[in-house]
Amino acid sequence: MNIEDIYDKDILRLQNFQNLVEGDLNKMKNDIAGALNNGAVGFAKSDERESFEIETKIYGIEDNLKKIINRNKNNQNLYQNFRNDLNTAFGDIDELKKEKQANAIEIEHLKRYISQLEVEKIEENMVKIDGMGKIISNLESTVGKASQKMRKFNKNSGDDEKV
């Protein structure tokens, strides 16, 4: 049950009741006052004590009706405040959902960026490793050539000593 249903069910019903009671009360007040003034059957015009009691009861009913009206107004204010608070809460929840979604998107972008950086670093390291491998191969080749020259040189210098 949502707020509008509660409002329609309770508040509008109380307002309709209030309007009916006020109308009936005014009608009764006018009917009683007219009957007392006209000296209707069962009422003596001179009997002011009964008239006073009736007026006292009518004023008591009016006071009770005013209390009901005030409670109705208080309930309307409470329902309106509750409705405002509920709307604010729903607005806050919507904002948090939007923020959560934006954060999730940003996290995905950051994951992709980190993955891209990792791939780039791996590629850079592979290029460096390939470069070092070529340098090592060149050094091995140079060392091999130098060893051969040293052996030839040693062989030639050994032949010269024999002569």
Separation of alpha carbons 150 and 155, rounded Å: 8
Which of the 8 DSSP states describes residue 41? T
Question: What's the confidence (pLDDT) of residue 55?
Answer: 82
Question: What's the confidence (pLDDT) of residue 162?
Answer: 56
Residue segments in the chain with a per-residue pLDDT below the cut of 70: 1-9, 36, 39-47, 158-163
Model's pTM, two decimal places? 0.44
Instruction: Report the chain's terminal Cα–Cα distance, integer Å.
Output: 120
